[in-house]
Chain A
Amino acid sequence: MIQKRIIAAVLLLVLFVLQSSVFCHLTINGATPDLLISLVVLIALFRGSNEGMTYGFFAGLLLDVFFSSFIGFNALHYMFVGFLCGLFKDYTIAFDLRIPALLIVVSKFIVLLSTYVFKFLLFGRFAFGTYFVNIMLPEFFYTIGMFIPLFFLMMFLEYKVFAKKEDVTVERP
């Protein structure tokens, strides 16, 4: 159990460093993929709300410390994403991308929209069209694109690496 959590925590740090220091050289129309939200959605889906919330909170905190003018904004968002996605844990089916894909799409969209409202709209910036086309869409699709390899990585970890060591059983109905 401990091992599982340490690996996820290391993965979180690695993805943060990748996102901020490697993908900034591989931008698409200036956008970088949000790997952290993908990880939070996946952890929540595989392990439930409690762990989803915890990893979401710390992922958001990392982003806040480096890129936000006040700490807690992203932490709150990512934590809620973790909580809400964790509610779908019982519907998670191995190697089925449908529910995770739907959840990442909805989560990313809501976080982006909320960022727009709290960082631009409240400061009197009404250029939603520009924000939507130039910032939301590229980041949105890049995130979804990078979500798929991450999904299979998490699948591999959950079902191949941890399943052997723990009492997670795969039942065939």
Chain B
Amino acid sequence: MSPRIKQTKTEKFLMPSKYLLLIYTTVSVGLMLLTFFNSGVEQFFKNTIGGAIAPFQKGVSFAAESIIDKATRVATIKELREENKALQDKIDSLTEENTLLLEEQFELADLRALYELDNTYSNYEKTGARIIAWDSNGFYSSFIVDKGTDNGILMDMNVIAGGGLVGRITDVGKNWARVTTILDDNSKISSMVLHTQDHMITCGDLKLSQSGYITYEQLGDKDNLVKQGDKVVTSYVSDKYLPGILIGYIADIRMGDNNLTKSGSITPVVDFRNLTQVLIITQLREDYEDLDINTDR
């Protein structure tokens, strides 16, 4: 009973599908090989196609964000009231803690002067950027921001938000850049526990990324000093990340498979689910090392 469609007049010239298939397959495989061995080709695509589409993404993302924000505003009022109450309690306890910390600050300043470790990451130069697109694979592995080489963004610049590490730039176009987050399955960061200075490797994990956790391994904590809630920061061993950026807090500790080192999971500081804006540190790790050497001399 259904009506059937029939093309009565064919096109003047119709290339046989098998040839077209062969052409496209060759082009795709060729592109894969080319981009694998030569990043110039990739950059060309990123600048032309990416540069043309990024402005649209920027506009649409901004509009969608504000619409969704308005739509959910009413629903969140109750939630916010509860949160406000909880935050008030937290403020009280924090004020108390703050006074204690202020005392320690003076001690810290003295010690820092002693170690010439004046550069904490709050001193790095930063530039703000808005997220305009997320990778649609569902585990917060990468996103696109609205700044690129035109704004002085370079490969491997570190990205932070809310005081914690988000990831680093892995692709740059003219007016956009891709940030690979620390949740990405392939991300590996040399890091250390802040108070014991024990080194470890922090890695993203496919299994945990949905719940927002990351894992760590090869923690050499011989004296069992590391405990839950300890701060984890990027270490000065890392060649991509600036030292001393807060990654998160230790969530659990297990003995590693080799019974020598420890592993477990970390709660990142950054809430990836509600991330809309990030800060890009415009200082590269390589330049930072130069600075270090200069101050030593």
Interface set of A (CB-CB < 8 Å, partner B): 1, 13, 16-27, 29-34, 48-50, 53-54, 57, 60-62, 64-67, 69-73, 75-76, 79, 83, 86, 92-96, 115, 120, 123, 125, 127, 130-131, 134-135, 138-139, 159, 167-173
Contact = CB atoms under 8 A, between A and B. Distances in A.
Contact of B138 (A64, A92, A134): A134
B6 A21 contact: no
Contact of B57 (A21, A76, A96): A21
Interface in B1-40: 2-9, 11, 14-15, 17, 20-21, 24-25, 27-32, 34-36
Contacts, number: 181
B36 A168 contact: no
A32 B20 contact: no
A54 to B, nearest CB: 8
A30 B32 contact: no
A3 B206 CA distance: 44
B56 A79 contact: no
B29 A76 contact: yes
Contacts of B132: 21
A155 B138 CA distance: 29
14 contacts: A1-B11, A20-B133, A25-B65, A32-B138, A65-B49, A72-B28, A79-B28, A83-B17, A93-B2, A96-B2, A120-B185, A127-B206, A130-B207, A167-B8
A170 B7 CA distance: 9
Contact of A70 (B36, B64, B135, B136): B36
Given A25-B68, A72-B28, A169-B6, A30 B17 contact: no
Contacts of A167: 7-9
B139 interface: yes
Contacts of A16: 53
B124 interface: no
Interface in B48-77: 49-50, 53, 56-57, 60-61, 64-65, 68
A69 B64 CA distance: 27
Contacts of A20: 57, 133-136, 144
Nearest to B63: A22
Contacts of B30: 72
Interface of B: 2-9, 11, 14-15, 17, 20-21, 24-25, 27-32, 34-36, 41-42, 45-46, 49-50, 53, 56-57, 60-61, 64-65, 68, 132-140, 142-144, 170, 178, 185-186, 206-207, 210
A35 B263 CA distance: 39
A27 B273 CA distance: 10
Nearest to A78: B28
Contacts of B137: 67, 115, 135, 139
Given A48-B17, A67-B142, A125-B206, 19 more contacts: A1-B11, A17-B53, A17-B57, A22-B60, A24-B134, A27-B138, A30-B139, A49-B17, A57-B24, A61-B45, A62-B53, A67-B137, A79-B25, A115-B137, A134-B139, A139-B138, A168-B6, A170-B5, A172-B4
